């Protein structure tokens, strides 16, 4: 048997495989890839959004794209993008984490809020209470959480957006009820005196409340409260809607610097616009976030009871002011937590 005959077949296979791999790598390279850098608990939402958008884009343009997602604590994620993580879009749960990218290196254009409907927030959620089944402590409203003897689980406002919204919701409630800042300060002092554990993030607080059996009420986002019911059974906990709460909107933005460098501006913008489309809003509602579309909200009305809310922008003077007055080192939150 000659050398050529012996090796012809394996060589042909090797050649075939090599060219196949080469072609594959070329197609992968040619494929447009966008990266969505997001906060922690939006993981499941975007897992459903991405395939829907990819199919939608393919139907519209014939182009096959890849959408990658990255999740983590929202401030940490924003810092990674500022430090050079190539995010085409960022989807956060509070606007300071996008504003920081405007301030640091101008990665995002300053007018990002104006480029999409609803101040660039495709959905909102609100802060609600989760209590043990049958509500044994009779917790109805914020006042009940500030009563002596109640135990309230809240994530750390210093490290989590969720905790920050809780603090601001309590502050806004007291402010509306009494009308003076002094009374509001007194109220949040009493409420935080009832907090036995400050977890780093929303999920940690959920674990403390549900798994460690600690606390009479968990104050958290509505979507988290609904997810707990879906995950652990609705027979263990009840959701309580307070008389007034805060609107937590989740802003999204195109990272201009990265999208222009990668040439993905068009598809990345379409991705963000998809979040506001009927299909996107539907997926959002299924994940227990309140959609912006009246139509979709109406369809899922049983899931989202009407609740009176206020926003940081309307009532509290915007995030810059809130950050400076409440959460900066030595500001009101630090003062009340040291006194507790």
Where do contacts with other proteins occur on this chain (CB under 8 A)? 73, 75-76, 79, 100, 156, 158-159, 195-200, 204, 211-214, 327-330, 334, 337-338, 340
The full DSSP string for 119-136 is HH-SEEEEEEEEEETT-T
* 75/269 with CB nearer other proteins: 75
**Which of 33/80 has CB closer to other proteins?**
80
Report in angstroms how near the CB of residue 97 gets to other proteins at its nearest: 10
Question: Using CB atoms within 10 A of its CB, is residue 295 exposed (0-12), middle (13-18) or buried (19+)?
Answer: exposed
CB of 155 to other proteins, least distance (A): 10
Q: How far apart are CA 112 and CA 91, in angstroms?
A: 12
* Per-residue DSSP letter, 250: E
Torsion, Cα of 12, 18, 24, 26 (10° steps): -120
Q: What is the four-CA torsion angle of 103, 106, 107, 108, rounded to 10 degrees?
A: 80
User: Distance (Å, rounded) from C-alpha 96 to C-alpha 318?
Assistant: 10
Decide whether 171 or 289 has the Cβ nearer to other proteins.
Answer: 171
CB of 199 to other proteins, least distance (A): 7
Nearer to other proteins, 59 or 338 (CB): 338
Buried b (16+ CB within 10 A) or exposed e, 51-76: eebbebbeeeeeeebebebbbbbbbe
CB of 271 or CB of 319, closer to other proteins: 319
Please give the structure tokens belonging to residue 18.
């090599």
Shortest spacing between CB 322 and other proteins, in angstroms: 13
Least CB distance from residue 156 to other proteins, whole Å?
6
Quote the tokens at residue 119: 């101040």
Closest approach, Cβ 290 to other proteins, in A, equals 26
| Closest CB 328 distance from other proteins, rounded Å | 8
Q: Residue 141, SS3?
A: coil
What would the two tokens of residue 3 be? 């050398």
Closest CB to other proteins among 294 and 329? Answer: 329
User: Is 87 or 296 the residue whose CB approaches other proteins more closely?
Assistant: 87
């Amino acid at each position: 048997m000659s050398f050529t005959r012996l090796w012809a077949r394996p060589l042909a296979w090797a050649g075939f495989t090599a060219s196949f791999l080469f072609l594959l790598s070329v197609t992968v390279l040619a494929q447009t890839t966008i990266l969505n850098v997001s906060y922690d608990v939006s993981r499941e939402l975007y897992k459903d959004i991405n395939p829907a958008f990819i199919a939608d884009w393919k139907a519209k343009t014939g182009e096959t794209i890849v959408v990658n997602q990255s999740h983590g604590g929202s401030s940490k994620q924003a810092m990674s993008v500022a430090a050079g993580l190539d995010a085409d879009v960022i989807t956060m749960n509070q606007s300071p984490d996008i504003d920081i990218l405007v301030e640091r290196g101008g990665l995002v254009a300053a007018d990002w809020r104006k480029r999409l409907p609803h101040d660039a927030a495709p959905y909102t959620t609100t802060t609600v209470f989760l209590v043990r089944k049958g509500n044994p402590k009779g917790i109805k409203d914020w006042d009940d959480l500030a009563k002596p003897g109640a135990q309230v689980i809240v994530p750390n406002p210093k490290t989590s957006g969720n905790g920050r919204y809780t603090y601001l919701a309590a502050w806004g409630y007291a402010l509306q009820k009494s009308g003076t800042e002094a009374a509001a300060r007194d109220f949040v002092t009493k409420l935080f005196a009832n907090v036995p554990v400050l977890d780093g993030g929303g999920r940690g607080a959920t674990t403390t409340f549900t798994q460690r059996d600690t606390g009479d009420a968990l104050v958290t986002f509505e979507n988290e409260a609904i997810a707990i019911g879906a995950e652990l059974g609705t027979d263990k906990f009840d959701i309580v809607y307070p008389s007034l709460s805060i609107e937590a909107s989740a802003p999204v933005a195109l990272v201009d610097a990265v999208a222009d460098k990668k040439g993905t501006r068009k598809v990345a913008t379409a991705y963000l616009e998809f979040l506001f489309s009927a299909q996107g809003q539907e997926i959002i509602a299924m994940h227990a976030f309140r959609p912006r579309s009246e139509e979709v909200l109406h369809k899922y009305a049983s899931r989202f009871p009407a609740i009176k809310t206020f926003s940081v922008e309307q009532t509290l003077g915007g995030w810059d002011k809130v950050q400076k007055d409440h959460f900066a080192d030595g500001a009101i939150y630090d003062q009340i937590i040291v006194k507790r």
